[in-house]
Structure formats: structure tokens, C-alpha cells
Amino acid sequence: MAMREAKFRIGEIVRHRVYDFRGVVFDVDPIFANTQEWYDAIPADLRPRKDQPFYHLYAINDQQGAYQAYVSEQNLLPDAERGPVEHPDVKRAFEGPKNGLYRPRASSFGATMN
């Protein structure tokens, strides 16, 4: 199976296509890398393909507040607001946002990230 390049990058602000939340990408899996139980819990009509990038997000919405989400690429859109995402982990891991993108803090992601 050929790997696709991820559409979104670390620090990018995104919005879910179906559910009302936005978040900041903090990690990317090239293909599905969660449990089968998690996958099976998604309603069948909304269940995404496993052969695409999946994103770990620091997410926020009005109902739950701040949480972490795991979302398929097909269910994400660029966030048109481009404003800050008020999640406590965003402030710890990133600087910004600037022009709709957060910059990882080197101390949060290791010395190789600049």
C-alpha cells in the first residue's frame, strides 16, 4: 500500500468536517494506528478509510471544552478562523499562532524541531 503525504502539518489549525470542533495538529500517523475497538465505535456511515493519514489534535469545542482528538484526513478542513485555539496543551507545545499556524516549541518536540 502506497503512503500518501499528509495534507496538514504539525501546528496547523484545522476544523472537523462533520462535528463542531477545531484544533491544532500535534502528531500525524501515515495510516490508522488506533485500536479496532475505537474504530468500530464510529458509526458505520461515518467510518473513515484506514489507508489515509490520521491526525492527533489538541481540540476544543463548546460542549466538551479542551480534549485530544484522533481524526482522519478526510474529515478535516483548514480552519478559516485562523485564530488561537484555547487549549492548555497548545500553549505548552506551541508558539503563536502566526498566519494561522502554530510553531512547535523546540523543548516540547525535541531538539530536532526548529
Question: pLDDT per residue over 73-111, tens digit each?
Answer: 999 999 988 889 999 999 999 999 998 899 999 875 554
| Cβ contacts of 25 within 8 Å, gap of 6 or more | 8, 9, 10, 11, 12, 14, 55, 56, 57
Note down the domain range covering 78.
13-109
What is the total count of domains within the chain? 1
pTM score, whole prediction:
0.88
> Quick one: pLDDT at residue 99?
86
For residue 34, which of 20, 45, 46, 48 has the smallest C-alpha distance? 48
In a domain, 99, yes or no: yes
In a domain, 55, yes or no: yes
In a domain, 7, yes or no: no
In a domain, 5, yes or no: no
